[in-house]
Structure 1
Amino acid sequence: MAAFPVFAVTVDVVALTIRDEVLSVLLVRRGEEPFAGRWALPGGFTRADEDLEHAAYRELAEECHVTRDDLLLEQLRTYGAPGRDPRPERVVTVAWIALGAHLPEPTAGTDAAEARWWPVEEALSMPLAFDHAQILADGVERARAKLEYSTLATSFCPREFTLRDLRRVYETVWGSELDRSNFQRKVLGTEGFLTDTGRYAEGRRGRPARLYRAAGIQGAVLHPPLLRG
């Protein structure tokens, strides 16, 4: 029986949040070779007794001190092109996207020199390590596309939020301004999207705005979808 070549498996995470009304991604500056000094997505090798999803959560906990309750995590895709990692052993990575509201300031892990949030548009233009520029681009497009047909946008909101807060999420992630009246009509007319708390936001100018919560499961399918344009 022919022996199959041995390869390593890693996880890489496209962690997205909104900071100062800008869609931002978590990057770490590598402290070790390969690509020492280059910015990269947080990630690392999976342990022999470790589930892939658990590995993704562990890497995020090490870099950003977040837990499962802080974000929505889902698998993006697998990247395994020969030569994507310059190390002698072939390395296949399982990429994930992680979305959360007001995620904390990161701290560099054991093999990173620095960690920080970067505006997505700036990060997309950077020479990231490995094939992380492609993984980042794929993750950002996945997030933008999923906002059209799922309740994913609520992952970027606090537990209770106004319609303006939610609209600003769409505008920030999509990079385009939305008509307020049309957006409100579509959102409130979509069953299973929002739950009215019966309360109002305090400390804001003008007429108090109603507070809502996500209804049901984050990422549930929307029908009809909210289209970008």
Structure 2
Amino acid sequence: MKQTAVIIARFQTPYLHDGHQHLLRGIREQHKKIVVVLGVAPVRFTKRNPYDFHTREKMLKAFDPELIILPLPDKRSDEVWSRSLDQLLRTTLPGESFILYGSRDSFCTSYKGAFETMELPASSAHNASDIREQLADHVLASEPFRMGVNYVCQNSYSRLFPTVDIAVIDETNNTVLMGQKSEASGWRFPGGYCDVTDQQLEDAALRELAEECGDVKTGPLHYVGSLRVDDWRYRHESDKIMTTFFITKLKEGQPQAGDDLARVTWIPIDKLPSLITQQQIIHEHEPLCKKLLQFLSDNPVHF
């Protein structure tokens, strides 16, 4: 019985480059039946994996309608992935024997399964990662391009963006550090979005504090609470913001406004309720002020 060819690849490109086409044509010359197993990442529509299974399936079918296209989700370990691959092939095409083909940076070194593998020499200098990067800012005027953008947006999971806010307390004067942005008159706590370089939320809080308030030294951070922020930018979106609120004590330093804060000042803590009533605290940070006052009421001496 002639073996069925199996190509294990991702094909994460907007088109089949010369190397892809050479691979498919070369294997087609030797095998009447070809199965393409497409790796499916657990996270959708990322820079490394921008195309979902159905998009890549249609691209391959347009090149060769007789291809059998199968999805294979990524797994935590090579062993589990290899067993899943073997089971997928045996279930889909029972009783057949297979030879698994790969090319540059292929699956061959990771595969721990039962079937024969063959790594083919690279026939082109094209690289899918380079192509994706080169085309990252390539905007087309076509309707299909706009439909593709909409497809990604409509089929992406709703996102929850993590942020941090920090209440710095000056015990000497019983005040809290707050700031204002140039385009908003209300007072707010220093804070901002977490960054992918932050190792923990505390790191994000200290980074944001330094960026917005300069070189101030503080004591340990203490958790006050967390809540979903009623941010006007996301009010009509499915994406939302969740902030983690910390409190700390000033040790030394004179705050200087930086980043997107136009000014900073020390506000008496006992004035916060009246500032909320007078709408001098931005709407999004009113719940944080209330959490701070409750926290200080529950922890009057130490925090």
Aligned counterpart for 2:170 among listed residues 12, 17, 37: 17
- Counterpart amino acid of residue 181 in structure 2: R
In structure 2, what is the equivalent of residue 99 of structure 1?
Answer: 249
Deviation at 1:85, TM superposition (A): 0.5
Q: Deviations over 1:78-98 (max 9, x none)?
A: 1115xx111134111111111
Aligned counterpart for 1:26 among listed residues 167, 177, 188: 177
- Counterpart amino acid of residue 93 in structure 1: T
In structure 1, what is the equivalent of residue 206 of structure 2?
Answer: 57
In structure 1, what is the equivalent of residue 231 of structure 2?
Answer: 85
Give the share of equivalent positions with the same residue, in percent.
Answer: 25
The change in CA–CA distance for 1:57 and 1:27 in structure 2 (over 3 A counts) is same
Query: What is the TM-score normalised by the length of structure 1?
Result: 0.54
Indicate if the aligned counterparts of 2:165 and 2:244 stay in contact, CA closer than 8 A.
Answer: yes
Indicate if the aligned counterparts of 1:30 and 1:114 stay in contact, CA closer than 8 A.
Answer: yes
- Where 2:223 maps in the other structure, the secondary structure is strand
Question: Which runs of no fewer than 5 residues in structure 2 stay unpaired?
Answer: 1-41, 43-154
Deviation at 1:147, TM superposition (A): 3.5
Indicate if the aligned counterparts of 1:30 and 1:113 stay in contact, CA closer than 8 A.
Answer: yes
Q: How does 1:50-199 map to 2 (within 5 A)?
A: 50=198, 51-62=200-211, 63-67=213-217, 70-80=218-228, 84-88=230-234, 89-101=239-251, 103-126=252-275, 127=279, 128-147=281-300, 152=302
Aligned counterpart for 1:5 among listed residues 155, 158, 167: 158
The change in CA–CA distance for 1:132 and 1:114 in structure 2 (over 3 A counts) is same
More relative contact order, 1 or 2 (CA 8 Å, 6+ apart): 1
Question: Which runs of no fewer than 5 residues in structure 1 stay unpaired?
Answer: 153-218, 220-229
- Counterpart amino acid of residue 47 in structure 1: D
- Tell me, in whole angstroms, the C-alpha distance in 2 between the residues paired with 1:123 and 1:24: 10
- Tell me, in whole angstroms, the C-alpha distance in 1 between the residues paired with 2:220 and 2:273: 22
- Tell me, in whole angstroms, the C-alpha distance in 1 between the residues paired with 2:231 and 2:182: 16
Q: Deviations over 1:71-125 (max 9, x none)?
A: 12111111115xx111134111111111234x43311111011001111122332
Indicate if the aligned counterparts of 2:216 and 2:250 stay in contact, CA closer than 8 A.
Answer: no
Deviation at 1:45, TM superposition (A): 0.8
Indicate if the aligned counterparts of 1:124 and 1:133 stay in contact, CA closer than 8 A.
Answer: no
Q: Deviations over 1:119-171 (max 9, x none)?
A: 112233222124312212212331332236xxx2xxxxxxxxxxxxxxxxxxx
- Tell me, in whole angstroms, the C-alpha distance in 2 between the residues paired with 1:52 and 1:96: 9
Does residue 45 (structure 1) correspond to residue 193 (structure 2)? The answer is: yes
- Where 1:80 maps in the other structure, the secondary structure is strand
Q: Is 109-118 or 4-13 further displaced after alignment?
A: 4-13
Indicate if the aligned counterparts of 1:39 and 1:129 stay in contact, CA closer than 8 A.
Answer: yes
